Amino acid sequence: MTAFFEFFVRFLPDMLKGAGVTVLLTAEGLAAGFVLGLLASLARTYGNKFWRGVAVSYIELFRGTPLLMQLFLIYYGLPGLGVTFSRELSAFLALGLNSGAYQAEYLRGSILAIGDGQMMAGRSIGMSRIKTIWHIILPQALRLAIPAWSNEPVSLLKSTAVVFLIAVPELMAKAKSIAAQTYDPIGTYLAVALVYLAMVYLLDAVLRWIERATRIPGFEMEGRKA
Amino acid sequence: MSNPILETRSLTKIYGKNIIFKDINLKVNEGETIVIIGPSGTGKSTLLRCINLLTSNEGGQVFLDGKEITAKGYNQDEVRQHIGMVFQNFLLFNHLTALDNVMIGLLKVKKMPKAQARQKAMEELKRVGLEDRADHYPGQLSGGQQQRVAIARALAMDPSVMLFDEPTSALDPELIGEVLGVMAQLARDRMTMLVVTHEMGFAREVADRIVFMEKGSVVEEGSPDDLFYHPKHDRTREFLWKITELYGKKEKKRVQKNDRLF
Ligand SMILES: Nc1ncnc2c1ncn2[C@@H]1O[C@H](COP(=O)(O)OP(=O)(O)O)[C@@H](O)[C@H]1O
Ligand SMILES: [Mg+2]
């Protein structure tokens, strides 16, 4: 036990460096995915046939194939078409595009749950569709989405591990080099597991705080009272 | 006096192969309260939605203040500001306080400065007796209070006409009176109103005219006295008899409780 503790402390700075990259990849992927997901969910819910088709294709394509395949397609595949991205940019694109497809579905679910009624009410006082979406539907849908959406940051954080396969120096990549250096894969991966657990724990705390802070008085998740 | 604020000419609505209503001709003069009654599924809600362009029509025209609002290229969002709408299930904006519900149209549609909008919204809440609930969210209000906020929200836009779609049918019996009371006051203030309701007490006391609709057309139209005491059609008589039987009991209970009709 003390041996493990010493091991942990010795490699902690290294692991934290990797964890920093992991957190950065998660934050970037989440942010890009949020923008994409929001646009895709709106296009799928309110768009005309063309935009619905675009949104559905995007969502199904990225939810229906492995993240690793998407990453390899971007990093190894696109250069064949004359488009070359750096490791970091490829990782960012793959994570953002992938997360966007999932976030689109979380957001779409809550937009649908808000219902046509709010749209009708907004329009009845003279708001345009866009204004109603912006001022009425989204503020409610985003709050409503939080509990289900909260899976996504945690899931994405863990998914970032795959990008070590294109040698982005995040936590898993550090783990691999520490394991190679120490010939102690058990100790290494246990230590890394602890770091992942700590990150997920903190992330969960932040998400729960957001959920509480955005609560609407009297407006419960079970739905609206008549 | 006979100055129609709202007029429909041969208004027709078709969903797929279903003719929901056909050739509806209605005239609502300034300051009048018209009550529409009729069995459920007759197209009353659809008619109101058609009038304020929340749904398309398949024929006919709607005129507001003498202008055809169903004309091609007419700015529909602009028109809706002038037609207030109150829904059966309130449809307040759940993420906004009562005051913000009333203010948001003033801010985002009328682009009124904030201080002025706030003052106007407070006045409208006062008008429906809810100034002390300004900072409550819809989820913290009773159904009756929510519906009164919804009325204030519509009134804040200074509409030419107010449409009510069964404004009390989602309410517990003891909460109906406060909403009907607000509506009766509006009628006394000469607001132009088109009201779909099953509240026969309200129809009798407040309506200038009652329109009986069945299966997508107007069967009969006239003063409350005409319809209640001298209906021209058996269908009108039968419907009124049924509805009074059905809703009269609830109403009686309420009258005993509150010592007044609404
Ligand atoms: N969006 C819609 N699509 C198809 N049919 C509809 C739609 N909305 C209403 N209807 C039909 O129109 C008819 C009239 O409905 P409605 O206007 O709600 O009647 P009422 O308000 O008089 O009870 C009903 O038969 C209903 O099924
Ligand atoms: Mg109806």
The tens digit of pLDDT for each residue in B191-208 reads: 999 999 999 999 999 999
Report which of A161, A146, A170, A158 is spatially closest to residue A34, judged by C-alpha positions.
A146
- Under the banding of pLDDT at 50, 70 and 90, the label for residue B250 is low
The nearest CA of chain B is from the CA of A109 a distance in Å of 18
The nearest CA of chain A is from the CA of B78 a distance in Å of 6
CATH code reported for the domain at A2-214 = 1.10.3720.10
Query: Within an 8 Å CB–CB cutoff, is residue B91 touching chain A?
Result: yes
Write out pLDDT tens, residues B72-96. Answer: 989 999 999 999 999 999 999 999 9
Q: How much is the pTM? A: 0.89
Ligand nearest to the CA of B43: 1
Q: In this structure, what token pair is assigned to residue B131?
A: 């100034």
Probe residue for ligand 1, chosen from B46, B48, B218 as the CB with the greatest number of ligand atoms within 8 Å: B46
Planar angle of CA B212, B18, B8, nearest 5 degrees: 45
- Under the banding of pLDDT at 50, 70 and 90, the label for residue B159 is very high
pLDDT tens digits for chain A (226 residues)?
Answer: 788 888 899 999 999 999 999 999 999 999 999 999 999 999 999 999 999 999 999 999 999 999 999 999 999 999 999 999 999 999 999 999 999 999 999 999 999 999 899 999 999 999 999 999 999 999 999 999 999 999 999 999 999 999 999 989 999 999 999 999 999 999 999 999 999 999 999 999 999 999 999 998 887 654 443 3
A216 close to B94: Cβ distance less than 8 angstroms: yes
B186 lines ligand 1 (CB under 6 A): no
B252 close to B259: Cβ distance less than 8 angstroms: no
What gap in Å lies between CA A83 and CA B27, rounded to an integer? 66
What is the reported pLDDT for A222? 45
The nearest CA of chain A is from the CA of B54 a distance in Å of 7
Work out whether strand B209-214 and strand B217-222 pair parallel, antiparallel, or are unpaired: antiparallel
* Beta carbons of A122 and B153 less than 8 Å apart: no
What is the reported pLDDT for B89? 96
- Chain A environment of B78 (Cβ under 8 Å): 126
Query: Within an 8 Å CB–CB cutoff, is residue B154 touching chain A?
Result: yes
- Which residues 188-247 of B are in CB contact (within 8 Å) with A? none
Question: Going by C-beta distance under 8 Å and a sequence separation of 6 or more, which residues neighbour residue B233?
Answer: B212, B219, B220
Task: Report the b/e string of A40-54 with b at 16+ CB within 10 A.
Answer: bbbbbbebeeeeeee
Domain residue extents for chain A: 2-214
Report which of A194, A195, A162 is spatially closest to residue A87, judged by C-alpha positions.
A162
A143 close to A214: Cβ distance less than 8 angstroms: yes
B92: which DSSP letter?
-
